[in-house]
Amino acid sequence: MDALDLARLEFGITTSLHFLFVALTLGLAPLIAFLQTLWVVRGNPLHERLTKFWGQIYIVNYGLGIISGLLLEFQFGLNWSGLTHFAGELFGAPMAMETLYAFFVESTFLGLWIFGWGRLPKVVHLLTFYVVAIAAIGSAYLIVVANGFLQNPVGFERAGDALRVVDVGAVFTNPAALLAVGHILPAALMVGGFFMAGVSAWHFRRGTGEVPFFRLSMRLGLTVGYVATFFTIGFGDASVLWVVRNQPTKLASGAEALRAAERMAAEHGPGDYLAPTWVPIALTLMLSVAYLYVLFALVPLVLLGRGRIERRRFLLGVGVWTIPLPFLTVILGWTVREIGRQPWVIYDVLPTSEAVSDISTAGVLASLVIFTTLYVTLVVIGYLVIARIARAGPRSLVLGSVLGDEELVRER
């Protein structure tokens, strides 16, 4: 493996693992915003406990997302300086806007939300979470605009050895970005919704006794997750149709793909311009999972009425054991999108081999080993911690607790 392969591997590992946390953050935020709104409007303590319980899972998951995202901002400068030099204006600008408009705002307001518990007026406190949720969606949009440019470069012209924007509107309304946002947001709601339902199923199965608490969680999670499935499929199918027409080499089959590959070879020199043959298989797998949900998530949905689902031990078990499934499927989706783009970093414009920095193989290898170790540690310990919080249930709520009562508990 040379520096290019290692840099690609490092990018793939770190972004995929980062996206595990991003998906749950994006999916849980609207659900928590809904629960806290109920609490503020109705003043029911049940809704307060729901907000705190799902909120603390959300926060820990968000924290793990930040940590796994730290490297990504630096990775472009470290390993892919050719890309920032060549397309800083088109790719870098939405990335920089993401750090300022979305991440900076999201982190600051999440800090206000966590530590404003009981300090800020209730409505103001709720509004800080709305800002967090909107910033999260804005963050997803801007990142996908940056990625969309790599998939479908629009609104640019060549100026010397770099690209220049000629149509900002085209960059921000790139179909490769809009279709992806339409697909990713409901996919994240599937992750969040079925996670919420799965955790509730665990509590019913164990008979932990918090019936009204997890009944509401189960209803909210299942309903949102199920409805989101249809939107995920709709935008997913639209994206596939779009890819077939615009990125023929991605799904590597048919005369169209071969013609496109021949044209690229003529224009950019000889090379393998077809994506690996397993990409369409991965795509089919992703679609199959979505249709499984359409079919089988209907069963618990029908049994929601009068709490019949709460006594079906087998079904509850399925709900628990399938919590990882939506997570794995969203990673599969990114893999299709990103591997399918190869060998290009900017489709049909800049190959990855020209974007990689002038760095030594040993240097990239060392950073790959260090960060893979750290990321695996983070994912393992992080999910054990999240599982622990989820299992402890609403009886151990730490969100909004103060230094005084924490020390009381300790001294007992």
Partner 1 sequence: MEIVWLLVVGLLLAGWYALDGFALGAGMFLAALRGDARGRRRVVAAIGPFFLAGEVWLIAFAGVLAVTFPDAEAALFTALYPVIVVMVAAWFVRDLGMWLRARRPEPGWQRRWETAQAGASAVFAASAGLFLGNAVQEPGAGALWWLNPYALLGALATVALFGLHGTAFLALRATGELRERGRRAGGRLAPVVLVLLLALLATAPLASAPGLVPLALVPGLAGPAAVALAWPALRKGRDGAAFAGTALAALCLPLTAGAMMAGRLLEGVAGASTIDQLTRVALPILPFLLAAQAVLWWVHRHRLSDRSVTFF
Considering only residues 177-196, where is the footprint of partner 1 by CB under 8 A? none
Residue 218 or 364 having the CB closest to partner 1: 364
Residue 163 or 260 having the CB closest to partner 1: 163
For partner 1, which residue of 12, 138, 343, 363 counts as binding (CB under 8 A)? 363
Minimum gap (Å) between residue 76 Cβ and partner 1: 6
Residue 46 within binding range of partner 1, rule CB under 8 A: no
Least Cα distance to 199 among 390, 5, 31, 3 occurs for 390
Least Cα distance to 252 among 276, 270, 285 occurs for 276
What are the distances in angstroms from CA 353 to CA 184, 211, 343?
A: 29, 57, 8
Q: Which long-range contacts (CB under 8 A, 24 or more apart) does 254-258 make?
A: none
> CB neighbours of 405 closer than 8 A, spacing ≥ 6?
none
For partner 1, which residue of 13, 33, 114, 318 counts as binding (CB under 8 A)? 114
Question: Which residue stretch of 91-99, 173-181, 212-220, 240-248 sits at the interface with partner 1 (rule: CB under 8 A)?
Answer: 91-99
39 in Cβ contact with 51 (< 8 Å): yes
Binding mask of the shown chain, residues 5 to 44, with x at each position contacting partner 1 by CB under 8 A: ----------------------------------------
Residue 395 within binding range of partner 1, rule CB under 8 A: no
For partner 1, which residue of 19, 53, 54, 103 counts as binding (CB under 8 A)? 103
168 Cα distance to chain centroid = 25
- DSSP output for 214-272: HHHHHHHHHHHHHHHHHHHHHHHHHHHHHHHHH-TTTTT-HHHHHHHHHHHHHHH-SS-
188 in Cβ contact with 159 (< 8 Å): no
Residue 367 within binding range of partner 1, rule CB under 8 A: yes
Residue 403 within binding range of partner 1, rule CB under 8 A: yes
Residue 98 or 210 having the CB closest to partner 1: 98
Residues 251-280 within binding reach of partner 1 (CB under 8 A): none
Residue 158 within binding range of partner 1, rule CB under 8 A: no
Give how many residues touch partner 1 by CB under 8 A.
74
368, two tokens: 């790959």
Residues 341-360 within binding reach of partner 1 (CB under 8 A): 357-359
Residue 106 or 310 having the CB closest to partner 1: 106
238, two tokens: 């639209």
Residue 162 within binding range of partner 1, rule CB under 8 A: yes
Residue 118 within binding range of partner 1, rule CB under 8 A: yes
Residue 318 within binding range of partner 1, rule CB under 8 A: no
Tell me how far apart the alpha carbons of residues 16 and 10 are, in angstroms, rounded to a whole number: 10
Tell me how far apart the alpha carbons of residues 174 and 151 are, in angstroms, rounded to a whole number: 10
Three-class SS of residue 344?
Answer: strand
For partner 1, which residue of 21, 54, 58, 109 counts as binding (CB under 8 A)? 109
Residue 381 within binding range of partner 1, rule CB under 8 A: yes
315, two tokens: 């079904």
Minimum gap (Å) between residue 233 Cβ and partner 1: 34
Residue 376 within binding range of partner 1, rule CB under 8 A: no
Minimum gap (Å) between residue 164 Cβ and partner 1: 5
Minimum gap (Å) between residue 154 Cβ and partner 1: 15
Tell me how far apart the alpha carbons of residues 214 and 143 are, in angstroms, rounded to a whole number: 34
Cis peptide bond upstream of 343, omega within 30: yes
Handedness of CA 217, 222, 223, 228 (dihedral sign): positive
